[in-house]
């Protein structure tokens, strides 16, 4: 599933480029939204994000596309792949700027981890099922 954000001046660091923390906040929030729609009724929290490496600068005015898809479901956890692309002012093609995976864990009412449902229809996937 794709979601979008626009980079505004308040998202920039003091060098004038996108602040990495702003990007991670979007990823955490958007991936959580996608996961929560895939697992309705479940309380999900972020346990980890992998391979945080910023190799591409992003400028103000860029439209970011976050491509978020489930990659693996475990017992209590589910991992999503996140690819971020940037459409910058004046450019005609989007550019790949960031990649990570983020994992969520289901909590019960006591705040302890618990198993995810065995059967899942992923609303974020066209076919609704995870093939991997």
Ligand X SMILES: CC(=O)SCCNC(=O)CCNC(=O)[C@H](O)C(C)(C)COP(=O)(O)OP(=O)(O)OC[C@H]1O[C@@H](n2cnc3c(N)ncnc32)[C@H](O)[C@@H]1OP(=O)(O)O
What sign does the CA torsion over 36, 131, 69, 106 have? Answer: positive
By CB under 6 A, tell whether 117 contacts ligand X.
no
Question: Which among 5-13, 53-61, 75-83, 119-127 is the span making contact with ligand X, rule CB under 6 A?
Answer: 75-83
Question: Which among 18-26, 41-49, 81-89, 90-98 is the span making contact with ligand X, rule CB under 6 A?
Answer: 41-49
Interface with ligand X (CB under 6 A), residue from 2, 37, 40, 47: 47
What does DSSP assign to residue 37?
H
Question: Which among 11-19, 58-66, 71-79, 80-88 is the span making contact with ligand X, rule CB under 6 A?
Answer: 71-79
What does DSSP assign to residue 89?
T
Integer angstrom CA distances of residue 4 from 65, 74, 76, 111: 5, 28, 28, 31
By CB under 6 A, tell whether 105 contacts ligand X.
yes
Interface with ligand X (CB under 6 A), residue from 87, 113, 124, 125: 113
Q: 3-state class of 29 per DSSP? A: helix
Q: 3-state class of 46 per DSSP? A: strand
Contacting positions for ligand X (CB under 6 A):
28, 32, 45-48, 74-77, 103, 105, 107, 113
């Amino acid at each position: 599933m794709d979601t979008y954000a626009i980079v505004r001046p308040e998202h920039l660091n003091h060098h004038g480029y996108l602040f990495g923390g702003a990007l991670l906040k979007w990823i955490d929030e958007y991936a959580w939204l996608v996961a929560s729609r895939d697992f309705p009724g479940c309380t999900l929290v972020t346990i980890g994000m992998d391979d945080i490496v910023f190799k591409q600068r992003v400028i103000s005015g860029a439209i970011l596309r976050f491509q978020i898809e489930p990659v693996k479901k475990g017992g209590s956890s589910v991992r999503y792949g996140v690819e971020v692309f940037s459409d910058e002012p004046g450019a005609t093609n989007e550019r790949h700027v960031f990649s990570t995976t983020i994992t969520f864990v289901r909590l019960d009412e006591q705040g302890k981890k618990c198993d995810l449902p065995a059967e899942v229809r992923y609303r974020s996937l066209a076919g609704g099922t995870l093939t991997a």
